[in-house]
Amino acid sequence: MKKKEALFVLLSFALLSMMALSYLLYAKGKRVIIFRGMLQERLVNELDQDQHLFHPSSSLQDLWVTVNKNIVVRRLGFHDTRNSSYPSVVFNCMYDDRSELPHLRKLYSLLTFRNRSTACYLLEYWVAIGDLGARERYQEIYFNYILRTKEKITEAPVHGQISIHSNCSFLSRTIPIKDNTTNKNYTYAVCLHKSIYNLTEPEMLVHWVELNLALGVEFMTIYLQNGYIPESYYTLMIPYIKRGIVEVLDWGLRPPVIPGYTKFWGQTAVINECLYRNMYRVKYLGLYDIDEFIIPQKLKTVPELIETFEKENPNALKAVAYIARNAFFYKRKESLPEVKRLPRRTMLMCYRMSFLPRYYTFTVRNQVTHLQHQYHKVIVKPTAAIGVWTHWVKKYMDGYTKEFYFSTEDALIHHYRVPDKYPLTDFNEKVFIMSRYFNETFKGISENLCRYYYL
């Protein structure tokens, strides 16, 4: 009996030893795989500096780095060589500075270059973007700051890390640095100027893209507040992504990256990331919401509008941006005439076509719109702008002048807002200018929405 017990103990020990050895070999192999994966990710980041931001991103850590409890930095920096006498590295920062104003915390960046050398640089707060007067009213908890190196950086780094210590100790996660090389050259592009997080009608994205194409837009950038909206928003954009006219990035400024809500989940940082990612590939960049469009009143496309405007106003060539004044449009009983003539079967070919674009059905606006002009929007020149707010440019490069305004006879922002912002007065008029875009937009909308909903 004792022999059997001894044999059982021996066999049990041998079995446990084999299991332990197998686990150690597995763990060792797994560590090797993880290490190789980290190396592969690092090399990819060096070659494709912004690929980690594109939807679908793997995690919020890919999108933001945490410096301390009050400061987060977008995980993409830029080598800004627009001023050849002062090339620098720029970071896009969100900072809850309420407890520290008027003194802001000093920040530093350890930059790593292609030869693997490193250097520590003091960062300066180049421009602040936000509205101090409306901070509490709109819950603008985090202010947007554009940071840049205090010293010239002539060579594009591979990546940077942020620290609150002058010796660049206790570093953040690496932030890839986008250099100034590009194989794109667009005349006119547009960014949705805040991340999408609360839309209930994903079809509006298709409406937005198709009208922008009709207006002469060559490329569009869209930010999704990933985790807050369904995947259908992205799925609808896939045909446009494949055509090379739309890019969709994840934003991810939300808990646990920050503790809670800040105005439009960091709208100002969206605007300025879009500015810097387009500074070498776009000549004119429009920054609008999903229910806003700059509509030439005499010409068809925005590039035609700008070309004519600059010929008639030579001083505008040095302006940092062009501003179009806002006009709210209202939905009443009358749609565009083309809508009335559509056969019923056309509207029923897929049920999502029953949801028509607002620019087909909102045809009434006030004749007197001066109270609405404060909601104007901008077309910026990315080579000139340093920091942009929702309605104007906060800071621009030397050699440029402030914004020029389009006359209301030349261009208006058509703002199809729900609910109404201002009441419709007795002094109103019906406007059917959008009929000029009907055939082109309806074709694109029906093809893309019906293709998607028949899949």
Residues in Cβ contact with 390 at an 8 Å cutoff, skipping those fewer than 6 apart: 193, 267, 268, 271, 287, 377
Task: Read off the pLDDT band of 10 (50, 70, 90).
Answer: low
Name the phi and psi angles at 112, rounded to 5: -115, 130
Nearest to 135 by CA among 263, 276, 285: 263
Residue type, 313: N
Q: Do the beta carbons of residue 189 and residue 217 sit within 8 Å?
A: yes
Whole-number pLDDT of residue 104? 96
What is the C-alpha separation between 129 and 92, in angstroms, rounded?
A: 11
What is the C-alpha separation between 202 and 127, in angstroms, rounded?
A: 34
What is the C-alpha separation between 83 and 106, in angstroms, rounded?
A: 24
71 vs 453: which has the higher pLDDT: 71
Res. 92: pLDDT tops 90: yes
Nearest to 286 by CA among 324, 259, 335: 324
155 vs 102: which has the higher pLDDT: 155
- pLDDT, tens digit, 9 for 90 and up, residues 294-331: 999 999 999 999 999 999 999 999 999 999 999 999 99
Query: What is the CA 32 to chain-centroid distance, rounded?
Result: 36
Model-wide pTM > 0.75: yes
Q: Do the beta carbons of residue 107 and residue 149 sit within 8 Å?
A: no
Q: Do the beta carbons of residue 83 and residue 212 sit within 8 Å?
A: no
Res. 23: pLDDT tops 70: no
Res. 249: pLDDT tops 50: yes
Domain boundaries, the chain: 64-178, 186-454
Name the phi and psi angles at 391, rounded to 5: -120, -10
274 vs 45: which has the higher pLDDT: 274
- pLDDT, tens digit, 9 for 90 and up, residues 165-203: 999 999 999 999 999 988 899 999 999 999 999 887 889
Residues in Cβ contact with 139 at an 8 Å cutoff, skipping those fewer than 6 apart: 261, 262, 263
Which numeric CATH code is attached to 186-454? 3.90.550
The radius of gyration computed from the CA coordinates of the chain, to the nearest angstrom, equals: 27
Beta-ladder partners of 147: 91, 125
**Side by side, which strands form the sheet with 330-331?**
330-331, 362-366, 428-430
Res. 50: pLDDT tops 90: no
Residue type, 284: Y
3-state secondary structure 271-321: HHHHHHHCCCCEEEEEEECCCEEEEECCCCCHHHHHHHHHHHCHHHHHECE
Nearest to 323 by CA among 373, 289, 358: 373
Which CATH number applies to 64-178: 1.25.10, 2.30.30, 2.40.30, 2.60.40?
2.60.40
Nearest to 228 by CA among 251, 245, 247: 251
What is the C-alpha separation between 316 and 310, in angstroms, rounded?
A: 6
Task: Read off the pLDDT band of 421 (50, 70, 90).
Answer: confident
